[in-house]
Structure 1
Amino acid sequence: MDKLVCVPDFEKEAHKLLDNNSLQYYKSGADDEITLQENKNAFKRWLIKPRMLRDVSNRTTKTMVLGKPVAFPLGLSPTAMQRLAHPNGECANAQAAASMGTIFILSTIATSSIEEVAGAAPNGRKWYQLYGRLANFQESSKHSDAMSGKIGSAFAYHDTLLDQSLTWKDVKWLKSVTKLPIIVKGIMTSEDAELACSFGVAGVFVSNHGARQIDTVNPTIDVLPEIVKQVKGRCEIYLDGGVTTGGDVFKAIALGANMVFAGRPFLWGLTVGGEAGAQKILQIFKDELDLMMALTGVSSMSELTSDFVTKDWKSHL
């Protein structure tokens, strides 16, 4: 693992180690995988505008998310079935996030229960991705019992449990039964960002779910500016999709995100080295972000504004 110095290095190594079914599940996108590639390409079309002769001798990557500090603005997005990559699965990634002072999000479709992850990383920041009608608990339920006896694909059965009638009124109901902050993930338009704000959510999560659901949908970084403009600071804004370098984190924060998340890079790290692999991925992101700050004249996240990025002129042709 010492010779692996960037996310693509870990990805190449993970491709050698994973069985084909697991690999295809982790790396695939919807349909022709156009958005899967464009999520990454779009970051390359945003160019950095460095400033010179600014004192960057004291830099910090720390920021605040939902009123609490994080060591740097890159966390772990919810990704399913992490024990396909490593026996410790989600627990290892949660431990890596905790050790680096950032946020881990547990997928509804996890291979570790909420209780297992909580026990593995008791002091870490842990969020939960909630789907309608699918439980993730150690205790037996009618759904888990049915799933254990179901013949065929677990994923196909999972699809039958998802409630396709969910609407914004369900966000209102959820707010009425919990004191936890509610974040709506999958926001890709200013119209939905406005609706989310009107329902009083704590945050909107700009995401096309790793380009796994709809192909030819916009890359997330390209829709971020319009959502930031619409929200006007009424709630926090997070982003994932195509994030593979500290420079990508830099650009997303500059365009108005409060926090950035990545999914697949941590599957590659987990595959290669378990908790240590995921931790090294986090360290790579942090080191790349810190170097970018030093070279562009940025000392803190609060200084990082849209003045530091511009759209590639070729992208307007």
Structure 2
Amino acid sequence: MEEPGLEEPATALCLGDFERAAASVLPPDVWDFVTGGSGDESTLDANRTALDRVRVVSRVLRDVSRVTTDASLLGRRADLPVAVAPIAYHRLVHPDGEFATARAAKAAGVPFTVSTLSSVPIEAITQVGGTVWFQLYWLRDTEQSLDLVRRAEDAGCRAIVLTVDVPWMGRRLRDVRNRFTLPGHVRAANITTGAAGATGTTAHRRSADASAVAVHTGQAFSPSLTWSSVTALRRLTSLPLVLKGVLAPEDARRAIELGVDAVVVSNHGGRQLDGAVASIDALPEVVRAVGGECEVLLDSGVRGGTDVLRALALGASGVLLGRPLLWGLAVAGEAGARAVLDLLADELRDALGLSGCDSVAAAAGLRTA
């Protein structure tokens, strides 16, 4: 039986409703680009399987007549222990693109992370207001990488999130089979000048046996990102520095030694190394290795308030939410993205109260099985 469409965002009862609706309105190749993973997508699937395996030991006989969801992320208050994950090319799914999702994040009181591969320039997004973080891919043109950081600082971004798990794009077979290319109206708005600009049109040229986006990023991204690059970045900026894509506890410890303020435990949503450990499975060891010396966030596979609770119980300060924002954006623009975050807030409040927690801080004391 065919799944019913989503007539209005308000009718969604879970984030999966937005997923089904987005699949029905997006072109098949765009849907594959948004939802797919690398290889045979075993890590993509493992993220969900592992999250579902985490069982929370709820507490009882606690006063939960008033449950609050506010949290501190990188030293600033947020209405939820959630930030919008960096995602490329929002205009692929809706003409308003990052403008709409940034406005939704502002309304929800959560940070919005603008990607290096945003289809809207950094400076235009920060004008929306709210808390904006900038995600940096390290480019072959080192000076351009550093210039992006300076632009982010000048524009008013509140943190730099360096993605460390993409020396090149993983083999995303859906995109290869579709010979995926960006439509003409969608561009990497932040790297369309200078040397990277020369490769920018590569993402729009159809290839016989490859994803044009993968070809473009292969030309633009540096496979030579190392700890020395992190050191250089730490010296350059006084903003909080976050490393996204950390799975090994040894790497988390090294990050602390170099003055990093937070790490994001992430396998890139199953889009890089197929066969990588599920993010939630890697989280406890990273939390133990960090020992409270920096914040730890979880990314990859979060699909509801219970997932946020699971991450908090395992020691995370919060989570990054990715694909569901694009589902909402595809379905109803800004209103759809706002509905996703509103629903997540309701789910988290429910999960906290039913587990015997009146706050995000209380969730850190829960046990899991």
Shorter-normalised TM-score: what interval?
Answer: over 0.9
1:42 matched to which residue of 2? 50
* CA shift digits 1:97-144 (9 cap, x unpaired): 00010011111111111122122x22x111111011266538833322
Cα distance in 2 between the residues matched to 1:274 and 1:260: 23
1:183 maps to a residue whose letter is V
Cα distance in 2 between the residues matched to 1:116 and 1:49: 44
Cα distance in 2 between the residues matched to 1:138 and 1:209: 21
Alpha-carbon offset, residue 146 of structure 1:
4.5
Is the Cα contact below 8 Å between 2:116 and 2:190 reproduced in 1?
Answer: no
1:129 matched to which residue of 2? 135
Which contiguous aligned blocks of 4+ residues in structure 1 show a shift greater than 3 angstroms?
134-140, 148-152
Structure 1 residues 118 and 43, CA, compared in 2 at 3 Å: closer, same or farther?
same
1:4 matched to which residue of 2? 12
1:304 matched to which residue of 2? 363
Residue 223 (str. 1) matches residue 282 (str. 2):
yes
1:266 matched to which residue of 2? 325
1:189 matched to which residue of 2? 248
1:115 matched to which residue of 2? 123
Residue 199 (str. 1) matches residue 223 (str. 2):
no
- Identity over the aligned pairs, expressed in percent? 38
* CA shift digits 1:242-277 (9 cap, x unpaired): 100100000101111111111111110000011110
Out of 192, 197, 217, the residue aligned to residue 144 of structure 1 is 197
What SS is found at the alignment partner of 2:49?
A: helix
Give the unaligned 5+ runs of structure 1: 311-317
* CA shift digits 1:131-189 (9 cap, x unpaired): 11266538833322442478552441221111111110111111111111110110001
Alpha-carbon offset, residue 44 of structure 1:
0.9
Is the Cα contact below 8 Å between 1:115 and 1:137 reproduced in 2?
Answer: no
Alpha-carbon offset, residue 76 of structure 1:
1.0
Is the Cα contact below 8 Å between 1:147 and 1:154 reproduced in 2?
Answer: no
Cα distance in 2 between the residues matched to 1:189 and 1:19: 37
Residue 81 (str. 1) matches residue 140 (str. 2):
no
2:115 maps to a residue whose letter is S
2:112 maps to a residue whose letter is F
2:35 maps to a residue whose letter is K
Is the Cα contact below 8 Å between 1:115 and 1:138 reproduced in 2?
Answer: no
State how many pairs are aligned.
Answer: 308
2:276 maps to a residue whose letter is V
Cα distance in 1 between the residues matched to 2:214 and 2:122: 19
Alpha-carbon offset, residue 309 of structure 1:
1.9
Out of 238, 244, 247, the residue aligned to residue 306 of structure 2 is 247
Structure 1 residues 138 and 198, CA, compared in 2 at 3 Å: closer, same or farther?
closer
What SS is found at the alignment partner of 1:87?
A: coil
Cα distance in 2 between the residues matched to 1:128 and 1:39: 25
Structure 1 residues 151 and 43, CA, compared in 2 at 3 Å: closer, same or farther?
closer
* CA shift digits 1:28-74 (9 cap, x unpaired): 10111111011011111111111111101121101111211000112
1:236 matched to which residue of 2? 295
Cα distance in 2 between the residues matched to 1:111 and 1:159: 18
Structure 1 residues 151 and 278, CA, compared in 2 at 3 Å: closer, same or farther?
closer
1:57 maps to a residue whose letter is S
Cα distance in 2 between the residues matched to 1:138 and 1:184: 21
Alpha-carbon offset, residue 3 of structure 1:
2.2
Is the Cα contact below 8 Å between 2:199 and 2:219 reproduced in 1?
Answer: no
Instruction: Give me the CA root mean square deviation.
Output: 1.6
Cα distance in 1 between the residues matched to 2:367 and 2:337: 29
Structure 1 residues 245 and 237, CA, compared in 2 at 3 Å: closer, same or farther?
same
What SS is found at the alignment partner of 1:102?
A: coil
Is the Cα contact below 8 Å between 2:315 and 2:364 reproduced in 1?
Answer: yes
Structure 1 residues 27 and 138, CA, compared in 2 at 3 Å: closer, same or farther?
closer
2:235 matched to which residue of 1? 176
Is the Cα contact below 8 Å between 1:93 and 1:270 reproduced in 2?
Answer: yes
1:142 maps to a residue whose letter is A
1:56 matched to which residue of 2? 64
2:11 maps to a residue whose letter is K
Is the Cα contact below 8 Å between 2:117 and 2:190 reproduced in 1?
Answer: no
Cα distance in 1 between the residues matched to 2:214 and 2:273: 17
TM-score, normalised on structure 2? Answer: 0.80
Residue 159 (str. 1) matches residue 165 (str. 2):
no
1:271 maps to a residue whose letter is A
What SS is found at the alignment partner of 1:260?
A: strand
What SS is found at the alignment partner of 1:129?
A: strand
What SS is found at the alignment partner of 1:261?
A: strand
Alpha-carbon offset, residue 291 of structure 1:
0.6
